[in-house]
């Protein structure tokens, strides 16, 4: 066995999905550098894991170049940025910079000689209002600056692969959930509302969505990093099973035994797709990947994690 440790850079390594990637890479014996806006550890990390922390804003190429210095990596996962569905005239330019300009800066700064794989985390929002189940070959129809920036990054990386052999893969994640997710996101809000026995507002919940446990998502990311066939590709990552938002809320409520959702108090987003769930046959074929954690098991683990935090 080679003594050389694989070197992985995780942009957004302190975030929800990023922290799970970092933990998984450490378990695999990889050397990990976590790049974020600060050098703090994530909420999931155990102390002294041997992770290197670097602080930089990827939208500032000079700062990014200085932060990474002479570092080189075989593998890079970009899950930096943040989910924000703001309209363009309400902060959209900042969102575009974080999710598109940031990717172009990373590509410029990284040492390509050692780079074997670059996985960019895309989003099911890139599909906009296209019909379900969404397929990678569909023309995207973004409805927010966030989804537009994700689409632009996807096409930029595919162009680089076609013209310069850049080893990029875009994984279009559907709704990933699990321990460590930000309390402002959909699932944590529902779980916390039920755990506290509160009444809380929701939409009518008629949207059908695709929920994937974070452990399965992370397994897909490592499959993409190490699969030669993934280069230049866009691949959906989800469960492939549509479930209504209302059913998800009711399932959480049933598992916890309390909580009072007030359906219909939150309006649907303008142009929101009511049917957004993945065709995951490409992930099976290219990555040899499919989700293993059932919705019930994933929800139980997630609820238990939030119980432990409180």
Q: What is the 3-state secondary structure (H, E, C) of 202-227?
A: CCCCCCEEEEEEHHHHHHHHHHHHHC
What percent of the chain has pLDDT above 90? 89
Question: What is the pLDDT at residue 46?
Answer: 59
User: How confident is the model over 276-299, as pLDDT tens digits?
Assistant: 999 999 999 999 999 999 999 999
The residue-averaged pLDDT of 179-201 equals 95
Owner of token pair 């996962």: 77
Residue 235 pLDDT exceeds 70: yes
In CATH, what class is 7-179+211-240+279-292?
alpha beta
User: How confident is the model over 29-48, as pLDDT tens digits?
Assistant: 999 999 999 876 666 665 54
pTM over 0.75: yes
- Tell me the pLDDT band of 244, cut-offs 50, 70 and 90: very high
- Tell me the pLDDT band of 3, cut-offs 50, 70 and 90: low
Q: If residue 66 lies in a helix (H) or strand (E), which one and from where to where?
A: helix 61-68
Domain ranges within the chain, ordered by starting residue: 7-179+211-240+279-292
């Amino acid at each position: 066995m080679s003594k050389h440790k694989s070197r992985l850079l995780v942009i957004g390594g302190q975030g929800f999905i990023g922290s799970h990637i970092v933990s998984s890479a450490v378990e695999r014996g990889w050397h990990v550098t976590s790049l974020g806006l600060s050098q703090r550890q994530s909420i999931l990390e155990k102390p002294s894991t041997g992770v290197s922390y670097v602080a930089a804003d990827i939208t500032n190429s000079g700062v990014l170049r200085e932060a990474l210095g002479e570092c080189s990596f075989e593998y890079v996962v970009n899950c930096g940025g943040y989910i924000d569905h703001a309209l363009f005239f309400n902060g959209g330019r900042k969102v575009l910079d974080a999710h598109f300009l940031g990717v172009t800066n990373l590509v410029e700064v990284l040492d390509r000689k050692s780079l074997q794989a670059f996985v960019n985390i895309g989003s099911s929002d890139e599909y906009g209002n296209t019909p379900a189940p969404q397929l990678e070959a569909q023309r995207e129809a973004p409805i927010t600056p966030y989804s537009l920036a994700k689409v632009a990054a996807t096409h930029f990386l595919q162009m680089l692969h076609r013209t310069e052999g850049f080893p990029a893969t875009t994984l279009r994640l559907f709704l990933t959930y699990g321990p460590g997710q930000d309390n402002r996101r959909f699932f944590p809000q529902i779980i916390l509302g039920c755990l506290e026995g509160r009444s809380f507002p929701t939409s009518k919940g008629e949207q059908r969505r695709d929920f994937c446990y974070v452990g399965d998502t992370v397994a897909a990311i490592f499959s993409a990093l190490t699969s030669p066939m993934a280069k230049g590709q866009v691949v959906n990552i989800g469960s492939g099973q549509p479930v209504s938002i209302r059913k998800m809320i009711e399932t959480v409520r049933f598992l916890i035994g309390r909580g009072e959702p007030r359906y219909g108090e939150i309006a649907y987003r303008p142009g929101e797709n009511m049917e957004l769930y993945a065709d995951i046959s490409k992930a099976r074929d290219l990555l040899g990947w499919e989700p293993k954690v059932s919705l019930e098991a994933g929800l139980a683990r997630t609820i238990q994690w939030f119980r432990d935090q409180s």
